[in-house]
Amino acid sequence: MKAMRQTASILVVLVLTVAVSAAQDAPAPPAASPGPSDIENLKAAVEKAPRGQQGKLYAELAERLVNIANQQFTGGRSTEAQATVQEVLQCSIKAHDLALSTRKNRKEIEISLRQTQRHLEDMKHTLAAEDRPPVDAVEKKLGDLRQELLDALFGPNPKKEGK
C-alpha cells in the first residue's frame, strides 16, 4: 500500500511537471498589429514627451510604421505604403538626430533602428520588383544612421585623446 502511494505521488509530480513545462513552451498569443489609432496615440506621446525620451519614441514609431506599410503593400495599396516607408525614414532620422544631440538612449535607439531595418528587409523580399527600390533606399539609409550611432557610441573619446 505504501509503495502504491509513493508511485501515485511520483506520477502526480511527473504529470504536473510536464503540464507546467508544456505551458511555458506554449507560444504567446500573436500581438495585434498596430492600428491607425495606436500610431496616432504614439505620435501624440512623442510630441508630449521630454526631449530626452522623444528619440526612443520616434524609433518605436518607425518600427510600428513598417508593420503598417507591410499591411498596405499586402492590401495592394503600394502608393500609401511607399508614403508610410518614407514616414519610417523621417521618424528614424528624428530618432537618430535626437539620440546624437541629447546623448540619451543611443543604444536602445540603435537596436530599434536595427530591428526596423531588418523588418524592412524582410518586407522587401515579398514586394513586387517595382516597389523594391524605394524600400531598399530607405533600408540602406537606416544602415547609415545606425552606423553613425555606433560610431558615436564606440568611437574614440575626445577627452582621452588630448592627454
Distance CA 31, CA 63 (A): 14
CB environment 40-53: b (16+ within 10 A), e (fewer): eebeeebeeeeeeb
Distance CA 74, CA 80 (A): 11
Which pTM was predicted? 0.73
**Is residue 44 scored above 70 in pLDDT?**
yes
Mean pLDDT value across residues 131-160 = 89
With bands split at pLDDT 50, 70 and 90, how would you rate the model's confidence at 17? low
Q: What is the pLDDT of residue 35?
A: 67
| Phi, psi angles (nearest 5°) of residue 132 | -75, -40
Query: In this predicted structure, which of 6-15, 27-36, 59-68, 121-130 has the lowest mean pLDDT?
Result: 27-36
